[in-house]
Chain A
């Protein structure tokens, strides 16, 4: 399996809702990433997990809460989001410290109403 999968594909949520985005990879990769991408912009790094430990948090607001239950799964818990948080949320995985290649999942298109 050479793919990174993400669910759901689309999500519409109100500002008071709590929802979660899920990401899964079965390539044995030890680094997993969350990115946010606005229209016509490059992906913007949010979080990095390395060997299931959070190693980078790019000053992301606390309404975004990442979780890495095991080496294959990565979640992003969402609570009290703002309309400006509407974007494509991309998960990526990479082999880890000795390999820089990152492979992206298809993304979750999030709309906050």
Chain B
């Protein structure tokens, strides 16, 4: 089955700096890669996603890149703010009878220091 590795497990950055979180996946059939942000005590929130027919996607300060050949994808956050502090999970989805279950990475705890 699919296996998703996520690095780093913790990341501290100064406010205004950029943060990059990287994930690799094992199943070349995976075609959907979302990123979730989870603040303490709250639900995982879908913040951006990318499909395998696209190499990069951007939404304001957040961008995701995908390298299908190397089977890795990354989340980039620019001009970080204290409210970006949270746990970020990457995930990959492999078609399976149309139910597309997500396989999650172990998460990255991002701390933005004011």
Contacts and interface: CB of A to CB of B under 8 A. Distances in A.
For chain A, give the interface size range: 20 to 34
A47 B105 CA distance: 19
State the main secondary structure of chain A at its contact with B: strand
Interface in B80-108: 89, 93, 96-102, 104-107
Interface in A83-113: 90, 94, 96-107
B44 A43 contact: yes
B71 to A, nearest CB: 17
Nearest to A31: B99
For chain B, give the interface size range: 20 to 34
A65 interface: no
A97 B106 contact: no
A45 B101 CA distance: 8
A92 to B, nearest CB: 8
Contacts of B105: 42
Interface of B: 31-32, 34, 36, 42-46, 49, 89, 93, 96-102, 104-107
Given A56-B96, A102-B102, 12 more contacts: A31-B99, A31-B100, A42-B104, A50-B97, A50-B98, A56-B101, A98-B98, A100-B32, A100-B49, A100-B100, A102-B34, A106-B43
Interface of A: 31, 33, 40-43, 45, 48, 50, 55-56, 90, 94, 96-107
